[in-house]
Structure 1
């Protein structure tokens, strides 16, 4: 039986395994090899690695884990999980299973862009989800912002305030905006097109949005906060509470509502936080935080003490 099984080999999972390995815990990390930011060639706001290749970061992380003999990294997919504190079992796609005293879920989320022809294949390259991650690189560009909800329209205001004087809000169909937001869009000179979008064509820096009414719009880039879903449903199978937005509920120690199960990265969040933050640096920090408290929990348990 392992001390901890970490499910997910992104920044959160690798960071958790690193902390636990350094504390001489027996750790199994299962990596399905499908990171959320796979389409991106750069990551940002990670100190000393701004503009770094995210795939390279993960490769370096796996190399660092090899220094700790008690940490095993295994490719594969976890198909099921069950059990209780001190005796969890995970099922793997090859028909095998493994047991652990604790579990750290770091499986992340999956972006699901609007079903518009040409949109998904450009996601992460010329269709951007986050102005913190991509804003600097899109400064001065002509930009479109796709939004189907009033709160998403705020993204158009933010981009117009920070990065571009030429922003068009595209609602992909009629959208009634609160008067306050509509007034601010008008003040910022952000026009809105409510015709449905039929397809997106072109290369980065030379995109074209095609509308159902025959209009086209040339843009250098597009912002689109795509809907998301959990990459895996293991938290629900373990009985963890799932918040209304689909993320896993955790507390300040990254612990879920199931004793012995922690969750880190954008798969989880505090209930008071509006959205799961998708920055690589924060995912890594969540993994560290989860591992520190998991290790402390194991330590107290080994002494026969009640949980902190």
Structure 2
């Protein structure tokens, strides 16, 4: 039977091994997402692609801040947020902002696909509206997350020997608990679920129409648009599944925050919460691999762009090498 120390040691080693892998894999995936959705002729004209591009950028920023700081803290005992107040404030502002930003873009993408499933001529489907919504959501969460900058600061432990970057106890702690439950735990997964289910229902009804009467074909429905829809629905299911443990924990923690808890119970709760955050990191890194596995169109476009840029880079390399050799020959002759 493992002791508490052995459980903590196992969790620490697990984080130290998995976090660098998640960061590298997630950054590569986000890079390829941006390339495919921005350069592919089959995707780049869709308004939904804009949301997926900025969601990928948001997830990459999240991976390069939140898990990276956690890795430095666990592996090398480097925690600048415990030394400087302004870093402490910016750290938790970044955590709140970068966690909500890509999720909000995923919700907008789900709403976009819902409107497409009802009518492909809705105003919300235009790229100009999509850019405005992207900017609005970014500014919205920057304003909402200001409370992290105001209240988070360096706190001294009860024994007076340790400095921690944390929120103060009291009314703000209560507010933060309910804020986390309602905003992070419930609202985002709920909105994703609602629009994902509605879109799936409309898609199923559309397919039934084609099955029952093959003459009825809605030519305006592009195959690539439905490919994005399938990718998005699976991504939403994946996101909701990986967010569910944190949602359950936040609800439980909010309901039991005034209970008297034993040391062992606190250890179990913290252990479960830490493992749940690891699922959040995996979710931030998984979108590209979900798209690649679930969409033949995405895979084809990825292969095409890979071949295209490989050939292009080879041509550039050959041209530069030829020019360099020509200059060297002229210099030797001279």
TM-score (norm 2): 0.29
* Structure (1/2) with the larger helix percentage: 2
TM-score (norm 1): 0.30
Max radius of gyration: which structure?
Answer: 2
